[in-house]
Structure 1
Amino acid sequence: MKSLCRIGHSLHSRGLTFGSSGNISVRLPEGGWIVTPTNVAMGDLDPSQLSLLDDDGKWIDGPKPTKETFLHAAMYGARRDAGAVVHLHSTHSVAVSVLEDIDPADVLPAITAYYVMKVGALRLIPYFPPGDPALGEAVAGFADKHHALLLANHGPVVAGADLRSAQYAAEELEETAKLFLLLQGHKIRPLTASQAAALKQ
């Protein structure tokens, strides 16, 4: 899918993912989904070299899929409205995920209206080693209530109704994490609870 590759190239060229880290998937109208292959940089994605999986996340065609396929399967399984999933190892989001005093139920404050509208409450998932299937189970436990999750010492995983929605939410999360880190040591004035609630109506 050309659009998936274009978005992957864009994320990579802007430094939102590095080396062969991160992965993207899109649910197909006819069933199943496509995902980026393992050990391929997003800047090198080729529409003819994407992995095809069935509805259960079983690899059925194309190159070997990312070893983090279970993250995507967990999001799709919990969210029937999800049309795409973006998982990044973006610098500022990862930095926030290792801070000791963040609230795991809602990691980032409502700094901007766009963060509230595109991300909402961001849940922190405890650390699991890379490739550990237990991480998929932990994600599945919160994905029904949160379309964006932050994996401790790892990065964000974000579902959207379509590929652009997932991309934009992941980018908004990263920018808000950057703002949050820039504001450390300063008194801040986040949106009030009523202001944030009004944006969700």
Structure 2
Amino acid sequence: MSAEAKLREDICTLAASMFNRGLTSGSSGNISARLEDGRLLVTPTGHCFGRLDPATLSVIDADGRHLDGDAPTKEVPLHTAFYETRAAQTGAVVHLHSTHSVALSLLPETDPDNMLPPLTAYGIMRLGKVKLLPYYMPGDPAMGDAIRGLAGKRTAVVLAHHGPVVAGKSLEAACYAMEELEEASKLAILTRGLSPKMLNAAEINGLVTKFNVDWD
């Protein structure tokens, strides 16, 4: 099996896993992954994560131009912005409409510069600071401009009233970080108003240093 064929299979397998566990529903969500020659494999528009076909995944170039396969997701600007601004660190991007991260984006007490309270080590290790971006109409190219405005300083953002977007070095890393974001958001909501004990500054700094976390 070629590297491209395996990546196609892996995208569909991981997408189905997330769909089956309720992390996204209907035809929502999209995934992209970069091939060795710089082209991107992208999940097509209007397709359910639970029933993706490796043969019909969209292929686009680094500028977002459609080269092959079914028509790509309208959220391509979100993906290409991460590849542009975090080229060395990004091999895949995942965007979902997962419930708890969206819910956290709606609460007025949520810190837009750092959405997740420091409740767990893995929330910090896998995500760093998670930026809350304002609402944009789905498909609006301005979402990509908002990602570029972060100048590569964030691996994860949440679009208010919409959903999270996470970049990772590999497809698996991006999917695992996305799942961590959803679980951390759920934990933040469950403990809100209960005065939970959080990691202190020294503990956070230890994780940031040891795991080279984006925390500026």
Residue in structure 2 matching 1:105, options 113, 128, 136: 113
Matches within 5 A, 1:21-40: 21-40=28-47
Quick check: 1:17 aligned with 2:24? yes
Aligned partner of 2:200: which letter? T
Give 1:122's aligned residue. Answer: 130
Give 2:146's aligned residue. Answer: 138
Tell me, which stretches of 5 or more residues in structure 1 are unaligned?
none
Deviation at 1:143, TM superposition (A): 5.5
Distance (whole Å) between structure 2 residues aligned to residue 117 and residue 170 of structure 1: 12
Q: Is the 8 A contact 1:32 1:57 kept in 2?
A: no
Distance (whole Å) between structure 1 residues aligned to residue 50 and residue 82 of structure 2: 24
Give 1:58's aligned residue. Answer: 65
Distance (whole Å) between structure 1 residues aligned to residue 202 and residue 131 of structure 2: 20
RMSD, aligned CA: 0.8
Quick check: 1:69 aligned with 2:73? no
Q: Is the 8 A contact 1:143 1:149 kept in 2?
A: no
* Identical columns (%): 51
Tell me, which stretches of 5 or more residues in structure 2 are unaligned?
1-7, 210-216
Aligned partner of 2:130: which letter? L
Q: Which runs of 4+ in 1 moved over 2 A?
A: none
Residue in structure 2 matching 1:85, options 83, 93, 118: 93
Secondary structure class of the residue paired with 1:142: coil
Distance (whole Å) between structure 2 residues aligned to residue 124 and residue 105 of structure 1: 6
Aligned partner of 2:157: which letter? L
Deviation at 1:172, TM superposition (A): 0.3
Secondary structure class of the residue paired with 2:149: helix
Aligned partner of 1:105: which letter? D
Secondary structure class of the residue paired with 2:94: strand
Distance (whole Å) between structure 1 residues aligned to residue 127 and residue 62 of structure 2: 25
Q: Is the 8 A contact 1:125 1:138 kept in 2?
A: yes
Distance (whole Å) between structure 2 residues aligned to residue 172 and residue 87 of structure 1: 13
Normalising by structure 1, we get a TM-score of: 0.98
Quick check: 1:157 aligned with 2:165? yes
Give 1:41's aligned residue. Answer: 48
Deviation at 1:102, TM superposition (A): 1.1
Secondary structure class of the residue paired with 1:17: coil
Deviation at 1:188, TM superposition (A): 1.1
Give 1:147's aligned residue. Answer: 155
